[in-house]
A and B are shown apart, each in its own frame.
Chain A
Amino acid sequence: MSKAASQQSPRDPALGVAALLPPNPDPLLNQTITPELIRKHGLLPDEFELICKSLGRQPTLTETGIFSVMWSEHCSYKNSRSLLKGFPTEKKGETKDYGRVLVKAGEENAGIIDVGDGWAVAFKIESHNHPSAIEPFEGAATGVGGIIRDIFTMGARPVLLTNSLRFGELSSPATKRLLRGVVAGIAHYGNCVGVPTVGGDVYFDASYEGNPLVNALCLGVLRHDQIRLGKATGVGNPVFYVGAATGRDGLGGAAFASRELSEASAADRPAVQKGDPFMEKLLIEACLEMMAVPGLVVGIQDMGAAGLTCSTCETASRGGAGIEIELDQVPQRETGMNSYEIMLSESQERMLVIVKKGREKEIEAIFEKWDLHASNVGTVTDTGRMVVKQHGITVADIPANVLTDQAPLYKREAKEGEWAINARKWTPAALPDLDAKGVEAALSALIASPTISSKRWIYRQYDNMVQHGTAVGPGSDAAVVRLRLGDAEKFIAISNDCNGRYCALNPKRGALIAMVECLRNLACSGAKALAMTDNLNFGNPYKPENFYQLSECIQGLAEACRFFDVPVVGGNVSLYNESPAGSIDPTPTVSIVGLIEDEKHITRQTVSTSGSRLILLGGAPHELGGSQYLGLCHGIKAGDAPEVDLNAESLLQTFLLTQIKAGRVIAAHDISEGGLMVTVTEMLFTPEVGAPNALTLGAALDLSSLSASRLDALLFGESQARAVIAVSSVVEKELLSLAASVGLPATTIGEVNASGVLSLAKGSIKTQWNVAALRTGWETTIENAMRRPGLN
């Protein structure tokens, strides 16, 4: 028992705080905080010093636990916050205000963007990488549950989910286990809760072996007057705990997420939470019903990472108030839980609600209707402190803003790694160019490679149609969803993008590409970008090469945000993504939401009839660096990431959108992984509705008019600022001259036909493919890898 804690002490007037807490009868809670305990909590000795200084005494064990989660990277962004300040907070030019950001990044659980006519959308992406690595099903499921709570806590009804997944090579048994578990977990949660999973992106690369990435995004809809904030205000207002009871699961999950994965990580399994989507469904409905009652809810926040701890101190800090809670009132799943366990539990499906005093009965009645508990656990105070009691004894007494705003900020050493510097020096000079046979084999291999192939095996396990708003589902450049806004409706598009390989070779360019590709996907779908959310997945920031990547990627994203006037409305930072084999490729996943003005503008990536002309927009490429072709056909992960020209991107995207709106575009597909040939091939894969005997399209391509130094770069290079569109022969000439008038390179490269054959001519090189065979390879790669004997 520590000397300090063993003495009863009155408040120390000099410090203005309860200098010492009363002794706790539980010897476990009363133990002295040793350097060993500090280390086990992931706190640095300097951080512990700072804690003692802020408190004017040594913390109790419960308080040490509270600090360890609140000052973890996951909650405090202590290693990334200084860099995140690089994101623009205002528009370039005269009018600084974006005019559409209703709740900004970092202010609340999710940002909110105006979509017009008094309506808005709340959206955010968040990672659940570490839990998914240890326990893929529950890890992914609770990732979905957590992000949904972040959205409805803002007052919004969740209307769509997307996810961004990264795994090791598909051939590895570990990847198959993780992929199966993660997909089943996402399906289990999203399907039951009734929010459609409408899109996502999936890459397979050895760098993610043992440390998969599972980033989940949710978007919700609300009227401006329905926005609710996570603020505790009004002294004397009661604090309610609603939803599931607290158990010992997920103890210290936020701190766990802020460590490297190791062989011993399986022992952390208790840090992974268990999800109950039915409970979440009840919570969504009960909370939205409660929030719809005027003046009833003062503030609301979900209990996600760091559970009860985070929700109490954050609401108090945002409201400039204090909160006092009594843990005996917290519904508990197990007997004998101590204050440390209750405060650090990350049991799922729980919310903290601050209710207007005197109206307790109203909230109790609503929760009664949904057969849920609503328990009055405390009150809002004017002390600015988070005070926690158990059995009447104070176990924690901490200034709320110290926990939320005063975690130390670090700027780590940044130095580019040798690997990237050397890899960028690679040139294709020593690589023989392709002949006709090589071209044929390369496309057949690329289209069936796990990263490029159809993700149908994955998304058919997600309910992607519930709420009947899905206009363009998974498998297109962007998903398009109709929002019901009272009696009116609007269509929004959403896309996720990030090529980690580019980011590994050239972090800043890679991040710029993630942004421009995402914007290009939206433009191809007929949408104008509104705002973005990002999920920064990186390795251990204490390694200078990792911190360099983080710093460069953020600069890249910020530059593109400024250039395109796309505000960032929130996101998530996930560091320590390492496995025993090393750090992951840096993966700053970008998700952008766009608005489609008119339903008629919705554009798909597939052609449905023969006779259309295929036009390449953007120049002929000369780059091979970082391409899927190099990786797959030559086993090379090297060269520089493709060049980025923001002006060229802007020109292309403006043209795409203008032509789509003018009704001249039948289909549009952006050029990305696999290059021009993969893009054209995918455009021929019209979705089958029902019967498997759909029309098999073909196309005749002639690229002779395109000048390129290398055939492989022309066909499979991944140069940016390019797309292929299909137009009718009637508007072809007009469209080409319109492109010429704005200075955008545009070339007719072929025509869609009903032959079932894709043929290619480039000078003397001639080759062809059976489209049905390409399609079979594309559609069955993941399915075959994941097939279980005896099941169909």
Chain B
Amino acid sequence: MKVAVLQFPGSNCDQDAFHLFASGLKVNTKYVWHKETSLGDADLVVVPGGFSYGDYLRCGAIARFSPVMKAVQAFSQQGGVVYGICNGFQILCEAGLLPGALIRNSSLEYRCITCALKVETSTASFNPNFLGASVKLPIGHGEGNFRIDEAGLARLEANKQVLLRYENNPNGSLSDIAGIRSEAGNVFGMMPHPDRAFERFHPSMDGLKVATAVLATKFPELLKHTA
């Protein structure tokens, strides 16, 4: 099991994501620099939070053109599992790997709080049976307001692509959506941070379950261990 955490120059949750997998789940984890064109032998690619290239333009608008994102595109087309957290989610939407877009929070302010999230039935691992009915994860973003057109939303719901919904919407997201997956089921994106919820002193340790749920997409045997 190998995890690759991408590093853009403005990534600042790269170490958080690294430690979630390396220290929290004891998985072999390495960094991949944004100028790289290969992902090596990774089983899971994590696009971490931060401000990729400053994000003075739309979040992730520049990152999608980076050399490493070409490799991520190819990886996902071959069925590789890709997981975007926060800025990573924004980048995956910009890159077209996930539907929809993330715009400024309805408050026009950054929000850093811990949110209760309703777990939807989406995949073999993203469901209340494995994760419980609700998880608590921190958020930290200024642009987490999920938007998609009506047809797109209908498709998301019909295909059960919604992973998590806010119980108390902090940013104006359509249908309280906090995280989604691709239709094919191998690309995941969410605004909440499991990488801030995996140690004893964190607001919760639900991040471990959520990260395991992503890994279990490729390694279903993980479901047995933790369930």
Query: Using a CB–CB distance below 8 Å, which chain A residues touch chain B?
Result: 184, 187, 191-194, 276-279, 281-282, 285, 370-371, 459-468, 471, 482, 599, 602, 689-692, 788, 791-792
Contacts and interface: CB of A to CB of B under 8 A. Distances in A.
Given A460-B111, A465-B196, A191 B142 contact: yes
Given A461-B109, A691-B168, A278 B202 contact: no
Nearest to B19: A468
Given A281-B51, A599-B201, A371 B110 contact: no
B106 A791 contact: yes
Interface string B47-84: 00111011110000000000000000000000000000
A356 to B, nearest CB: 26
Contact of A278 (B56, B114, B168): B56
Contact of B15 (A277, A279, A281, A467): A467
Interface string B29-59: 0000000000000000000011101111000
B153 interface: no
B201 A191 contact: no
B204 interface: yes
B199 A468 contact: yes
Secondary structure dominating the interface of A: loop
A588 to B, nearest CB: 30
A144 to B, nearest CB: 14
Contact of B10 (A184, A192, A599): A192
A262 to B, nearest CB: 32
Nearest to B54: A278
A602 B201 contact: yes
Given A191-B110, A462-B110, A468 B202 contact: yes
4 residue pairs, one from A and one from B, having the closest CB atoms: A194-B12, A690-B116, A278-B54, A471-B201
A280 to B, nearest CB: 10
A463 B198 CA distance: 18
A282 B16 CA distance: 18
A278 B116 contact: no
Contacts of B111: 460-461
Given A468-B19, A689-B114, A278 B106 contact: no
Contact of A187 (B110, B134, B203): B110
Secondary structure dominating the interface of B: loop
B9 A468 contact: no
26 contacts: A187-B110, A191-B110, A192-B12, A278-B51, A278-B56, A371-B9, A460-B113, A461-B109, A462-B110, A463-B110, A465-B196, A466-B12, A466-B13, A466-B49, A466-B196, A468-B19, A468-B202, A471-B201, A482-B199, A482-B201, A599-B201, A602-B201, A690-B168, A691-B167, A791-B106, A792-B106
Nearest to A691: B116
B175 interface: no
Nearest to A788: B108
B215 interface: no
In the complex, which range does the number of interface residues on chain B fall in?
35 or more
Given A191-B140, A281-B9, A689-B136, 10 more contacts: A194-B12, A194-B13, A194-B50, A461-B111, A464-B112, A465-B112, A468-B202, A691-B168, A692-B168, A791-B108
Contact of A462 (B112, B196, B198): B112
A100 B114 CA distance: 37
A191 B143 CA distance: 13
A792 B107 contact: yes
A468 to B, nearest CB: 5
Contacts of B189: none
B115 interface: yes
A689 B112 contact: no
A463 B167 CA distance: 21
A193 B49 CA distance: 12
Contact of A285 (B9, B51, B116, B198): B9
Contacts of B108: 788, 791
Contacts of A285: 9
Contacts of B140: 191, 463, 465-466
Contact of A281 (B12, B49, B172): B12
Interface string B1-26: 00000000110110110010000000
A781 to B, nearest CB: 17
A689 B200 CA distance: 15
A297 to B, nearest CB: 21
Contacts of A602: 201
Nearest to A194: B12
Most buried by B among A277, A371, A602, A690: A690
Nearest to B15: A467
Interface string B129-158: 000001010101010000000000000000
B193 interface: yes
Contacts of B114: 689-690
B203 to A, nearest CB: 5
A461 B167 CA distance: 20
Given A467-B16, A692-B168, A370 B109 contact: no
B195 interface: yes
Given A191-B142, A192-B51, A466-B140, A281 B110 contact: no
B20 to A, nearest CB: 8
A468 B16 contact: yes
A370 B9 contact: yes
Contacts of B202: 468
A468 B12 contact: no
A285 B51 CA distance: 14
Contacts of A278: 9-10, 51, 53-56
Contacts of A466: 12-13, 16, 49, 140, 196
Given A281-B51, A282-B9, A460-B111, A689 B56 contact: no
A774 B140 CA distance: 28
Contacts of B15: 467-468
A278 B116 CA distance: 31
Given A465-B193, A466-B16, A791-B106, A690 B112 contact: no
Contacts of B50: 194
A602 B201 CA distance: 10
A692 B167 CA distance: 10
B12 A193 contact: yes
B193 A599 contact: no
Contact of A460 (B112, B167, B168): B112
A371 B49 CA distance: 20
A281 B111 CA distance: 21
B100 to A, nearest CB: 21
Nearest to A692: B168
Nearest to B170: A460
